[in-house]
Structure 1
Amino acid sequence: MSGEARRAGRDRDAEGRARSARPRDGLGRPLPYGVAGVARQPEGVVRAAAETVREAQRLLDAGMPFHAHEVFEDAWKSGPEGERELWQGLAQLAVGLTHAARGNATGGARLLRRGAGRIAGYADGGGEAYGVDVAGLVAWAGELAGRVERAGGGVPDAAREAPRLARP
């Protein structure tokens, strides 16, 4: 898209929906047009639950929690209604980790706790969790949220503190 077209209106995808064409870095921050960024996750991918967990773990391990959030977002949009809280909560954990790594202590801690609250009901057989270590993630999120708040400006290496999603 030319600079003139961008100035005339919002970037649009092939279906006409607003979608920023700006490249992004590994934490999902927009970069200037024309700069090489990190490839985006394709949207609307329907995966089996185990594949969703594996792909999100791969992205978390690579220090790309923003991209992992997009994988979880696809799962909540395409999965059964009864699993929405699980996938939304996991997405919020990934976004909380993203904010913490970007230096946003308030947003990072808030989203980590909100995500943990959403998934907590899946602990101890409270719903299908596909091998996700819900109790471990809830504990991880609480610990990281507290550390992020104490640091006051986020934890710059937080993206490298990826949790293990699946139970050992």
Structure 2
Amino acid sequence: MTTQARSRRSWWRDHSELGICAVLVALGGLVLVDAIRIPTDFAQRGPVGPKAVPVVVGVALVVVAVLLARDVLRGGRGEAEGGEDVDLSAPADWRTVLLLCGAFLANAALIGVVGFPISGAVLFWGAAYALGSRHPVRDPLIAAGLSVLTFVLFNNLLGVPLPGGPLVGVL
């Protein structure tokens, strides 16, 4: 490898935050393109239309990306990880990740069939199990309680309809 190639690789390694800037610009551009495509042919309530918030978010993403790129190119660097007791050289815990993915997928598959109270209980219990809790009586009871509480809160108090499944008449 030539000296020029090594110095180029070193420069990119020293300015790796520019990758985040590129992602932010791309995301901001995507938000702006989607905001421009929002139809305006439906009734508008008040002075702010449906495009306002997405345009503000898209512009903010691009502005933050430009400011971050300017800071990085002027020598600014992100603070090194040091606030947590995490071994950054340790491998990922794929078992936990896969168990959590399984709990989320089970929730997605079950919610239309058995409703939110039951599928939410499966999600909460599966997440607790994946994260290390092994209480065979307590965990399902807490999961069922959290799921029913969440269902009642969203469905009855906030007015956000969730599928109730067979328990819709009971709750």
- TM bucket normalised to smaller: under 0.3
| Structure ranking higher in helix proportion | 2
**TM-score computed with the length of structure 2 as normaliser:** 0.26
Larger radius of gyration, structure 1 or 2? 2
